[in-house]
Amino acid sequence: MTRESDTAKTTGDAANASRPASPARTAQQTSPVRTAQQSRLILASASPRRLALLAQIGITPDDVVPTDLEERPLKGELAGPMARRLAREKAEAARVTDPHTFVLAADTVVAVGRRMLGKADNEADARKMLELLSGRRHRVTTGIALITPAGRLVTRSVTTSVSFKRLSEAEINAYIAGDEWRDKAGAYAIQGRAGAFIKGINGSYSNVVGLPLMEAKGLLEAHGFIAALPAANK
């Protein structure tokens, strides 16, 4: 697993004032117990997988703000810079002005050599991606962006190497028929039935799912995030 170095910047009040209104926020069904010292967290992602991964380490966002961006590489852009750029744009789209609120965003990119695979548009597109991944090693890079209550923006990216076994036509047909490929970078979900395609990985498993947990938690804590206590069982 490789990590890109952190980058950070502070944006001024004028940028905050000119930001368009945030999209509608999705309230969580289970509210954590929060004290005055604990932080609020907005997850700038529509991915249920990232929400579940955060819950796995005891972090429940106060709001979820889905973002709608064009997830295409710029000319000559590589996977790491692309993932960090998209994560930064998602975080900035969900920015709020609040002395206790953090905004966390992420974006995952699959790359085979210099070719980057986004989300498949249709079954034919998914088939081409799986045929390309078959019997080969590829890289999964997730960019993370965090905006602190002080307005500081920090980005990081994590890369995991994944090796696929050689897939038969029948395996590809069966996988596509199951619809698991939809809304997934590279047209597969390692946490689902595609787990049977994996010969091995080198690096963070949660990164391949969509959010490298060790790095995300470390980034939050390094910038002063204090998680809420879990709600008491009644």
Which of the two residues, 127 and 28, has the higher pLDDT score? 127
Mean of pLDDT values over 43-53: 93
Q: How far apart are CA 106 and CA 142, in angstroms?
A: 7
pLDDT tens-digit series, residues 89-134: 999 999 887 778 999 999 999 999 989 998 999 999 999 999 999 9
Active-site residue list: 107
Contact predicate 11/210, CB 8 Å = no
> Cβ contacts of residue 73 below 8 Å, gap of 6+?
82, 116
Give the chain's mean pLDDT: 85
- Which pLDDT band holds residue 13 (cuts at 50, 70, 90)? very low
Lowest average pLDDT, out of 24-38, 142-156, 208-222, goes to 24-38
- Other beta carbons within 10 angstroms of residue 182's beta carbon come to 15
Lowest average pLDDT, out of 25-39, 103-117, 159-173, goes to 25-39
Which of the two residues, 162 and 25, has the higher pLDDT score? 162
- Which pLDDT band holds residue 71 (cuts at 50, 70, 90)? confident
Q: Give the pLDDT of residue 151.
A: 92
Burial 11-24 (b: 16+ CB within 10 A, else e): eeeeeeeeeeebee
SS (H, E, C) 32-61: CECCCCCCEEEEECCCHHHHHHHHHCCCCC
Greatest mean pLDDT range, 58-67, 161-170, 220-229: 161-170
Q: DSSP labels for 77-130?
A: --HHHHHHHHHHHHHHHT----TTEEEEEEEEEEEETTEEE-B-SSHHHHHHHH
Contact predicate 137/161, CB 8 Å = yes
Q: Give the pLDDT of residue 226.
A: 83
In the chain, the domains with their CATH numbers are 2-222 (3.90.950.10)
Q: How far apart are CA 87 and CA 190, in angstroms?
A: 21
Q: Indicate if the pLDDT at residue 158 is higher than 50.
A: yes
